[in-house]
A and B are shown apart, each in its own frame.
Chain A
Amino acid sequence: MAAPTDSTDNLSSVKHVILILSGKGGVGKSTLATQLTLGLLKAGKKVGILDVDLCGPSIPKMLNLENRDVHMYPTGWLPVYIDDEKRLGVMSIAFLLDNKDEAVVWRGPRKTAMIRQFITDVCWQDVEYLIIDTPPGTSDEHIAVVESLKSYNPDGAILVTTPQDISVGDVRREATFCQKTGIPILGIIENMSGFVCPNCKECSNVFSKGGGEALARELGIPFLGCVPLDQHLSMSLEEGKNFITEHSDSPAVMALTSVVDRLIQIDKNL
């Protein structure tokens, strides 16, 4: 596949680039990335979501876009759209694999090259918000994303954690990564904080509570809110449904909406 000759303009038309990071895996980066994207979509924005998790891409499944193909345009790859009006575009390595169970067994340099291509060669057209979902850690993928984004002046990163100390410890390292690489931190979201039993309404702190907020205070970073565990949320992700519009009365949706409002607000202040 030949790379387009003049590709530097693909991303410069995107107004806001937001990274979703976490040192820890399975804390809900992809979940929050999809939900924030859907939230921004609901607020009337044109959005894009780029999945740079090459070994475990989850975004296509969560948005019910499995088995879709990416098309090649003279200016680059055309993202997969969830709607006909093309208000939400998605790009993920999953669209490029023949078989969904195929493992992408790649070492760093190959992952770096793929990510550079994802950053420069996808024609997002006039997307207002581009959310970039990342794999866990502070390694090849992250260095590649941050280096390739440098010239595009990204808005910053949202750090996701679960409440336990173990996860907070990894996120603290991720904050150090942001400081070292000069990526502004927009704030911390605490995910999976508390589960309300559907039978007795008793709230259990399955993964303890308050770790995210304490870390935000310690590092002097804005705390963006707690998203509680909700069966409907995991169910919606499994079925690729829009949780935000289907369960609008859930406390999780309220928490997500307030984060979306914050994002729109932060950007106005810039």
Chain B
Amino acid sequence: MDDIPSDAPTHCPGTQSEAAGKASACQGCPNQNICATQPKGPDPAIEEIRERLLSVRHKIVVLSGKGGVGKSTFSAHLAYGLAAANEDCQVGLLDTDICGPSIPRIMGAEGEQVHQSGSGWSPVYVSDNLAIMSIGFLLSSLSDAVIWRGPRKNGIIKQFLKDVDWGDLDYLIIDTPPGTSDEHLSIVQYLSAAEIDGAIIITTPQEVSLQDVRKEVAFCRKVDLPIIGIVENMSGFICPHCTTESQIFPPTTGGAEKMCSDLSLPFLGKLPLDPRIGKACDEGKSFLEEAPDSPAAKVFQAIMAVIQKRTEEEKMKEDFVQR
């Protein structure tokens, strides 16, 4: 545990230690009082979250350093796809974007309410085997802005993880806001005992986006979050009129594929731009059902199959080791 701050006095016992604030080295340290009074040890919520999520087999986090690359679109369709492929597969989708929740709209569940019961918050079910939870369900109007600083956002994320009564789930997909800040740190920290399968990172082909994604990869490595793979979204646009392909967001540095080989990360595939995807999201429908034969839907199915295979293999290994 490295809980000794870099600027601490010599012989600092560490902020989490029993002796914090009480050792002789603490005399005169400006943080002595904080160390002596704050609760020690890990947050008890971490253990509660672990227990709550014992009934969840796979936990997948969808990340991206950059905004607007399609995290929510991807998360939503991964949930749609997994739930549609097998009606016995129970899927949950948690939206942790507190300031810009888009999941309710994409899933066609805007205006739904969350109910509280003895066993926690009941998520909103969009079909028999697909449940979602988002702050969007807790706001009274669509124009309500959630102007919250970090600690309050962390509080609601903790509650989402601890108090939502998902029941038995095969997959819990966690959609995140852009960046590498409070929400991301909290998710990783709160789920540290519950074990995340890994992260899927979404990017667009341009270097401007890739440079943010490299930061996200650095984040994952810093916090020991395994990376399931990287998806390149909005990769090329096929004109519906003349079928010429245009690179609206040009992969000037080789795109995500090149980045993956440079950083030795698994590359999951390229999803092309398709006006019908945006339209399906606006209307709250599944693009996979609206246009099942489109190139984008086919690529998506292939990516989904790889994700299922990877996460299942890892779990089997774990189960084997535990036995």
Docked-complex contact B144 and A200, CB < 8 angstroms = no
Q: What is the chain B residue whose CB lies nearest that of A162? A: B68
Docked-complex contact B100 and A172, CB < 8 angstroms = no
B111 lies within 8 A of chain A by Cβ: no
A11 lies within 8 A of chain B by Cβ: no
Q: What is the chain A residue whose CB lies nearest that of B141? A: A176
B232 lies within 8 A of chain A by Cβ: no
- The interface stretch among A68-76, A229-237, A245-253, A261-269 is A229-237
B128 lies within 8 A of chain A by Cβ: no
Contact of A239 with B252 at beta-carbon distance under 8 Å, contacts A56-B212, A169-B102 already known: yes
Docked-complex contact A25 and B99, CB < 8 angstroms = no
Docked-complex contact B146 and A165, CB < 8 angstroms = no
Within 8 Å by CB of A208, from B105, B219, B278, lies B278
A107 to B189, CA, bound (A): 13
Q: In the complex, what residues of A have CB within 8 A of residue B106's CB? A: 166
Question: How far in angstroms is the closest Cβ of chain B from A160?
Answer: 10
A195 lies within 8 A of chain B by Cβ: yes
Interface centre among B100, B177, B214, B240 (most CB of A within 10 A): B100
Docked-complex contact B68 and A25, CB < 8 angstroms = yes
B305 lies within 8 A of chain A by Cβ: no
Docked-complex contact A103 and B219, CB < 8 angstroms = yes
Mark A residues whose CB is within 8 Å of B.
23-27, 30, 54-56, 58, 61-62, 100-109, 111-112, 135-140, 142-143, 162, 164-167, 169-170, 172-177, 180-181, 195, 197-200, 202, 204-208, 229, 231, 234-235, 237-239
Q: In the complex, what residues of A have CB within 8 A of residue B102's CB? A: 24, 166, 169-170
A175 to B281, CA, bound (A): 22
Q: In the complex, what residues of A have CB within 8 A of residue B151's CB? A: 108
Please list 7 pairs of residues, one from A and one from B, whose beta carbons are closer than 8 Å in the complex, sorted by A's number.
Answer: A56-B67, A103-B216, A143-B147, A165-B105, A177-B145, A197-B241, A198-B244
Q: In the complex, what residues of A have CB within 8 A of residue B241's CB? A: 197, 200, 202, 204
B19 lies within 8 A of chain A by Cβ: no
Within 8 Å by CB of A202, from B68, B209, B218, B239, lies B239
B170 lies within 8 A of chain A by Cβ: no
Q: In the complex, what residues of B have CB within 8 A of residue A103's CB? A: 65, 180, 215-216, 218-219, 222
B29 lies within 8 A of chain A by Cβ: no
A176 to B281, CA, bound (A): 23
Question: How far in angstroms is the closest Cβ of chain A from B155?
Answer: 12
Docked-complex contact A173 and B208, CB < 8 angstroms = no
Interface centre among A56, A199, A237 (most CB of B within 10 A): A56
Q: In the complex, what residues of A have CB within 8 A of residue B100's CB? A: 23-25, 136-137, 170, 173
Contact of A204 with B69 at beta-carbon distance under 8 Å, contacts A23-B100, A165-B282, A234-B250 already known: no
Q: Which 7 A-B pairs have the closest CB atoms?
A: A25-B67, A26-B68, A108-B150, A137-B99, A55-B179, A202-B241, A200-B242
Q: What is the chain A residue whose CB lies nearest that of B209? A: A26
Q: Scoring B residues 129 to 159 as 1 if CB is less than 8 Å from chain A, else 0, what string do you get? A: 0000000000000111111111101000000
A22 to B86, CA, bound (A): 38
Docked-complex contact A55 and B153, CB < 8 angstroms = no
Question: How far in angstroms is the closest Cβ of chain B from A226?
Answer: 16
Question: How far in angstroms is the closest Cβ of chain A from B50?
Answer: 23
Q: What is the chain A residue whose CB lies nearest that of B67? A: A25
Query: Range of interface residues on chain B?
Result: 35 or more
B47 lies within 8 A of chain A by Cβ: no
A26 to B208, CA, bound (A): 11
A157 to B145, CA, bound (A): 16
B211 lies within 8 A of chain A by Cβ: yes
B248 lies within 8 A of chain A by Cβ: yes
Within 8 Å by CB of B147, from A30, A56, A104, A177, lies A177
A234 to B148, CA, bound (A): 33
Within 8 Å by CB of B178, from A55, A165, A198, lies A55
Docked-complex contact A176 and B145, CB < 8 angstroms = yes
Q: In the complex, what residues of B have CB within 8 A of residue A204's CB? A: 237, 239-241, 275
Q: In the complex, what residues of A have CB within 8 A of residue B67's CB? A: 24-27, 56, 135-136
B247 lies within 8 A of chain A by Cβ: yes
Docked-complex contact A55 and B208, CB < 8 angstroms = no
Q: In the complex, what residues of A have CB within 8 A of residue B143's CB? A: 172-173, 175-176
B185 lies within 8 A of chain A by Cβ: yes
Docked-complex contact A199 and B179, CB < 8 angstroms = no
Interface residues of B in 189-223 (CB under 8 A from A): 204, 206-209, 211-212, 214-219, 222-223
A155 to B153, CA, bound (A): 30
Question: How far in angstroms is the closest Cβ of chain B from A77?
Answer: 22
Docked-complex contact A206 and B248, CB < 8 angstroms = yes
Question: How far in angstroms is the closest Cβ of chain A from B216?
Answer: 7
Docked-complex contact B68 and A195, CB < 8 angstroms = no
Docked-complex contact B65 and A56, CB < 8 angstroms = yes
Docked-complex contact A164 and B278, CB < 8 angstroms = yes
Q: In the complex, what residues of B have CB within 8 A of residue A173's CB? A: 99-100, 143-146
Contact of A104 with B244 at beta-carbon distance under 8 Å, contacts A109-B150, A164-B278 already known: no
Contact of A105 with B68 at beta-carbon distance under 8 Å, contacts A202-B242, A204-B237, A204-B239 already known: no
Q: In the complex, what residues of B have CB within 8 A of residue A24's CB? A: 67-68, 100, 102
Question: How far in angstroms is the closest Cβ of chain A from B60?
Answer: 20
Question: How far in angstroms is the closest Cβ of chain B from A144?
Answer: 9
Q: What is the chain A residue whose CB lies nearest that of B274? A: A206
